[in-house]
Amino acid sequence: MNPSLPGRRILLLHNELAPIVTLTSALEKAGFQVVEGNLPDLALHELVHDPPCLILATEGAGGHSAETLTRNLKHDAFLGRLPLILFVRDSRLNDIDWGELGVDDFITIPYRPEDVVHRVRLCLSRLTRSLDANPLTRLPGNTTILFETTARIQSGQPFALAYVDIDNFKSFNDRYGYGRGDEVLIVACRILTTVVGELAGTEGFVGHVGGDDFVFMSRPDRIDAICQTVIKRFDLVIPDFYDRDDRLKGYIDSVDRRGNKEQFPMMSLSIAVVTNERCPITHPGDVSKIASELKKRAKGLKGSVYVKDQRGLANDALDANAAPSQEDDATPPEPLKL
């Protein structure tokens, strides 16, 4: 039997003894810990200290219909926050208003215990993605980014991770308001997902760290083309977000973080690219450390640039050049190297 993992307790509310034994065995073999109970007799004080991650409840448990059972669970301040999967019989499917019931999934009776395990895993995975997704762009957030980074490190295959920062975004927000700032983030999201999809295919990944910070991943041999294309498309559309007068000047008047008046150029991209192509990476923390160093160098340059991790090369000299803008269709210059 696999040992149960933290955060993998399941509260099982069932009205028949035989299914409880079989279902509990299947869930425990899958690494879950099962806590059995009935609504009127639940010792909630014990559950609070080691809360379940999900509730499995059978219509008829405690003598309650699906509607009453769900209502009682959802109205409880503690249990109401947990995802709920309901067991119901086929004959009841068309009688229930699923839009109003408030459950996360249902399983028809009779069922196979192994199918229940799959549905539980899918429900928890769906919940994680939903909670992790950025509410504006709907891109995966930090939990998924960490998971994806860790998976690529553990695979042992070459990969590249690019950390994207929108320069001068705060001053743009201060000048034009958060509504227009959100539009910039949505456009940045569309550019990233489109370009990564076009050039990296199914091996690509795009995530939203938060605010004006994004992440994308691909194979190392695709990362230069992706960075160059993202920069070109971003620089092409970004002037349209500025009023005509500011666009003609090429900057906006705003204040810095200390409240001092300053002239801020139009928004641009600073992209820090980390890769294990020449030097191994064993921990996600290594990626963050290297990306932070590269991003500082990128933000010290004018305009949109990408700075590429070149650790392991015999010649570690810095060769800094901006990536091409919308006016530059010539051969792309080399990125900054560390």
Say which CATH number the domain at 246 has.
3.30.70.270
Is residue 69 domain-shared with residue 191, that is, in the same domain? Answer: no
- Which residue in 75, 71, 18, 46 sits closest to 86, CA to CA? 71
Which structural domain range is residue 241 located in?
A: 142-337
Last residue of a domain, one of 74, 97, 132: 132
Its pTM surpasses 0.85: no
CB 185 within 8 A of CB 136: yes
DSSP-assigned states of every residue in 196-211: HHHHHGGG-EEEEEET
**String of b and e for 82-113 (b: at least 16 CB within 10 Å)?**
bbbbbbbeeeeeeebeeeebebbebbeeeeee
**Residue ending a domain, choose from 77, 100, 132:** 132
Which pLDDT score is estimated for 260? 77
pLDDT per residue rounded down to tens, the chain (338 residues): 344 444 588 989 877 666 788 899 999 999 999 988 765 555 555 566 677 889 998 887 767 788 888 888 887 767 787 889 999 988 888 888 888 888 899 999 889 999 999 999 999 888 887 878 898 998 999 989 999 999 999 999 999 999 999 999 999 999 999 999 999 999 999 999 999 999 999 899 999 999 999 999 999 999 999 999 999 999 999 999 999 999 999 999 877 777 778 889 999 999 999 999 888 899 999 999 999 999 999 999 999 999 998 776 654 433 444 444 333 333 344 444 43
180 and 59 within one domain: no
Tell me: do 76 and 179 sit in the same domain.
Answer: no
- Find the helix or strand (DSSP H, E) in which 311 lies: none
Predicted confidence at residue 312, as pLDDT, reads 67
In this structure, the answer to whether residues 170 and 128 fall within a common structural domain is no
**Do 120 and 173 reside in the same domain of the chain?**
no
Indicate whether 2 belongs to any domain: no
Same-domain pairing of 273 and 183: yes
Instruction: Report pLDDT for 38.
Output: 67
| Whether residues 94 and 192 fall in one domain | no
Distance, CA of 158 to CA of 141 (rounded, Å)? 23
Q: Which helix (H) or strand (E) holds 19?
A: helix 17-29
Which among 63, 98, 132 is the end of a domain? 132
273 shares its domain with 315? yes
pLDDT of residue 141: 92
- Contact present, 116 and 137 (Cβ < 8 Å): no
69 and 127 assigned to the same domain: yes
- CA-wise closest residue to 268 among 254, 250, 256, 255: 250
Residue in the structure block whose two tokens are 């007799």: 41
Cβ 332 vs Cβ 308: under 8 Å: no
Q: How many domains does the chain have?
A: 2
Tokens linked to 130: 């939903």
